[in-house]
Amino acid sequence: MKHQHIKELIHLSFLDELTDDERQVLEKHLQSCQDCQGEHAGLDRMHRLVAGQKNVEVTDELLWEARRELRVALRLEQMKRSKWSELLERINILSHPTVRYAFAAAAVLVIGIGLGYLMFVPSLPVSHFVDTASTEGVASQRGDTRVSNFRFVRQGPEKGEVEFSFEMVTPIRMKGNVNDNAVQRVLAQALLNDQNPGARLLMVSTLANQVESTRLPDVEIKAALIRAVRSDANVGVRQEALKALQKFPLDGEIKQAIIYVLRYETNPSMRIDAINYLEKPVLAAKTADQDILDALKEKMQSDENNYIRIRARNVYEEVKQQ
Amino acid sequence: MSEKEFLNNSEAMQELDLIQRAKRGDMGAFEQLVYRYDKQVLSIAARYVQSSEDAKDIYQEVFMRVHRSLSRFQLRSQFSTWLFRITTNVCLSHRSRRKRHMHTSLDQEADDEHGYSLAEKLKDGGAADQHAESSDVALHVQRALENLSPKQKLVFTMKYYEGYKIREIAEMLGLNDGTVKRYLFSATKKMRSELKEIFGS
């Protein structure tokens, strides 16, 4: 224990941290203790080696250089800081209570106006909708317009210019004669768009029953019926559409639609209807239409239905004999 | 009041005035404050890193930190205490960045110049006194210093080369006297052990 304490004193003696009393104690002990003398000698040697270490000298020149470099670094930092502080000062204005309350009040006002506008804005005007009210004998009544699926497309380069898309639904109740062209056009549009096959069937049946064969078909109605006969998913709708088309005089578009049915329709009853329809005008015209002949020939050779093959052959040969 | 006390008080008042002005952004006052202590800062750094370039880096880093955080300095301690604590912190972090590089470069230098490591050379080289007189002594003392922990090295260099009292070092590092003594004794023991391997007992 004593040696441990003395060794600590030896260390401290080399660090010049001994009191006079401690120094006396150490000197006295060292005179009689060889072990501690060895410790002292070892440390003395180590201290001489360390003290002989050539240190970096802090000259005036080195100090001057360090000061000069520090001045440059401080100036650079001050330049950077002045830009930042300018920006921060502007931001810090917002932290002032008065300004903060003013901003909050303005924000509440803007939100209130926005909400009020959304809640009480009048219905948007209907600009691209078929207005049938002006048609003679047809009365329509509009319900409330609903705007949905609003999408902001872009903001134009000119001030205030914007572009957006939306869906507008206005329920309309219409009353009129099915022979009225306006009513028929609405029905034709609905035939193309309505998702309910029952509703489509009703529409096309109504059209089929009321179409007058003496009148030239309306372009939109004819297009809707042709599209229905070619591609409606419901066979009943296709059949009714074919029935309606048969009431129109044969023209190029209707002829192609009937030939399409003959060639590609999966329902054999409709293919037979198509042959029956084509037979009459071809025989009446006493001239052979090459497109019809080709379709009949194809069917008499390859249709899977025996009756259709026979029926197609009969019509084909009859036409050929003319 | 004695003349010495009066002067001390006067110095303290002057320093306080400089600190207050520097806190308000007066660069002239900041420079005067720097010039009061910067030689000591540079000296501590130079002893610690043994390189004038690194010492200048530390010096600059210390005073940049002081400049950035002076506005937050609340005079709860003496300015010098705060400054030297920053200095020791910068030294400690600087050493940790350079440690690996330093070891590598020492080894490389030895290998490149002599074809074999310095330790091998010294083992083969004969009497310790011969080496003590050569420039390799400085290299080995430096290497032994580098093998100390950052705090051991800082305490050791501040004590041995700068001559600070244990109490002063403790204040700068924010430690108590006993802890500083322990760092000193352990550093001395390690240095002695490393140098003994090379130079013999």
Helices (H) and strands (E) in chain B, counts: 10, 0
B88 plus B10 within the same structural domain: yes
Can you tell me the mean pLDDT for B119-143? 56
A210 plus A157 within the same structural domain: no
pLDDT of residue B200: 63
B89 plus B132 within the same structural domain: no
**Which is higher by pLDDT, A5 or A214?**
A5
pLDDT of residue A211: 65
What span, in angstroms and rounded, lies between the C-alpha atoms of B172 and B92?
13
A287 plus A244 within the same structural domain: no
What span, in angstroms and rounded, lies between the C-alpha atoms of B103 and B20?
44
Q: Which of B139, B141, B156, B158 to mutate to test the interface with A (most CBs of A within 10 A)?
A: B141
Structural domain includes residue B17: yes
Residue B179 to chain A, least CA–CA distance (Å): 14
pLDDT of residue B61: 93
Q: Which of A55, A76, A84 to mutate to test the interface with B (most CBs of B within 10 A)?
A: A55
Print the domain residue range for B148: 116-201
**B167 at interface of A, judged by CB pairs closer than 8 A:** no
**B50 at interface of A, judged by CB pairs closer than 8 A:** yes
Nearest to A46 among B67, B166, B192 (CB): B192
pLDDT of residue B119: 40
pLDDT of residue B38: 92
pLDDT at A127 over 80: no
Can you tell me the mean pLDDT for B62-73? 91
- Give the nearest chain A residue to B161 (CA atoms): A51
CB B55 within 8 A of CB B42: yes
pLDDT of residue B57: 92
B85 plus B155 within the same structural domain: no
Can you tell me the mean pLDDT for A217-231? 81
pLDDT at A191 over 60: yes
B88 plus B8 within the same structural domain: yes
pLDDT at A6 over 80: yes
Nearest to B184 among A15, A46, A50 (CB): A15
pLDDT of residue B123: 41
What span, in angstroms and rounded, lies between the C-alpha atoms of B184 and B168?
14
H-run or E-run covering B152: helix B150-160
Structural domain includes residue A57: no
pLDDT at A297 over 70: yes
* Interchain contact, B64 vs A69, CB within 8 Å: no
pLDDT of residue B122: 39
pLDDT of residue A141: 63
> Which tens digits make up the pLDDT trace of A272-287?
888 888 877 666 666 6
B20 plus B48 within the same structural domain: yes
Structural domain includes residue A244: yes
User: Which residues of chain A from 105 to 144 reach within 8 Å of chain B, CB to CB?
Assistant: none
Structural domain includes residue B111: no
B86 plus B152 within the same structural domain: no
> Which tens digits make up the pLDDT trace of A132-189?
444 555 666 666 677 777 777 776 666 677 777 878 777 777 777 767 777 777 777 7
Structural domain includes residue A80: no
Nearest to A50 among B43, B59, B191 (CB): B191
Print the domain residue range for A17: 2-46
Instruction: Supply the pTM of this predicted model.
Output: 0.47
pLDDT at B4 over 70: no
Residue B43 to chain A, least CA–CA distance (Å): 6
- Rounded to a whole number of angstroms, the distance between the first and last alpha carbons of chain B is 55
B2 plus B89 within the same structural domain: yes
* Interchain contact, B192 vs A62, CB within 8 Å: no
Residue ending a domain, choose from B34, B69, B97: B97
Residue ending a domain, choose from B41, B65, B97: B97
Helices (H) and strands (E) in chain A, counts: 13, 4
A164 plus A151 within the same structural domain: yes
Residue ending a domain, choose from B97, B125, B143: B97
B131 plus B45 within the same structural domain: no
Residue A91 to chain B, least CA–CA distance (Å): 20
Determine how many CB atoms are found less than 10 A away from the CB of residue A220: 15
**B166 at interface of A, judged by CB pairs closer than 8 A:** yes
Supply angle C-alpha A296, A204, A254, rounded to 5: 30
- Supply the CATH number for residue B50's domain: 1.10.1740.10
**B35 at interface of A, judged by CB pairs closer than 8 A:** yes
pLDDT of residue A213: 56
**B134 at interface of A, judged by CB pairs closer than 8 A:** no
Structural domain includes residue A164: yes
Tally the domains of chain B.
2
What does the DSSP assignment read for A32-69? Answer: H-HHHHHHHHHHHHHHHHHHTS-PPP--HHHHHHHHHH
B42 plus B131 within the same structural domain: no
CB A200 within 8 A of CB A194: yes
pLDDT of residue A80: 76
**Report for A137-146, A299-308, B111-120: range of highest mean pLDDT:** A299-308
Structural domain includes residue A308: yes
Residue ending a domain, choose from A149, A173, A197: A173
**Which is higher by pLDDT, A75 or B87?**
B87
% of chain B exceeding 90 in pLDDT: 28
* Interchain contact, B64 vs A66, CB within 8 Å: no
What span, in angstroms and rounded, lies between the C-alpha atoms of A46 and A64?
34
Q: In this structure, which amino acid lies at residue A188? A: A
Residue A98 to chain B, least CA–CA distance (Å): 26
- Supply the CATH number for residue B123's domain: 1.10.10.10
B32 plus B60 within the same structural domain: yes
Half-sphere exposure of A218 (CA within 13 A, CB side): 17
What's chain A's average pLDDT?
78
pLDDT of residue A110: 92
B5 plus B61 within the same structural domain: yes
Structural domain includes residue A19: yes
Tally the domains of chain A.
4
ipTM over 0.85: no
Nearest to A262 by CA among A289, A287, A286: A289
B4 plus B90 within the same structural domain: yes
- Rounded to a whole number of angstroms, the distance between the first and last alpha carbons of chain A is 141
pLDDT confidence tier of residue B187, bands split at 50, 70 and 90: very high
- Give the nearest chain B residue to A53 (CA atoms): B138
pLDDT confidence tier of residue A43, bands split at 50, 70 and 90: confident
* Interchain contact, B55 vs A66, CB within 8 Å: yes
CB B56 within 8 A of CB A69: yes
Can you tell me the mean pLDDT for A39-64? 82
A149 plus A191 within the same structural domain: no
**Residues of chain A with C-beta less than 8 angstroms from the C-beta of B55:** 56, 58, 62, 66
A278 plus A300 within the same structural domain: yes
pLDDT of residue B83: 93
Structural domain includes residue A118: no
* Interchain contact, A15 vs B159, CB within 8 Å: yes
A182 plus A245 within the same structural domain: yes
Can you tell me the mean pLDDT for B10-27? 87
A204 plus A232 within the same structural domain: yes
Structural domain includes residue B35: yes
pLDDT of residue A130: 43
What span, in angstroms and rounded, lies between the C-alpha atoms of B108 and A169?
83
Q: Which two tokens stand for residue B64?
A: 């940049």
Q: Which two tokens stand for residue B175?
A: 């430690």
Region of B200 (left: φ > 0; alpha: ψ -120 to 50; beta: rest) is: left
Can you tell me the mean pLDDT for B145-158? 89
Structural domain includes residue A269: yes
Nearest to A65 among B56, B192, B196 (CB): B56
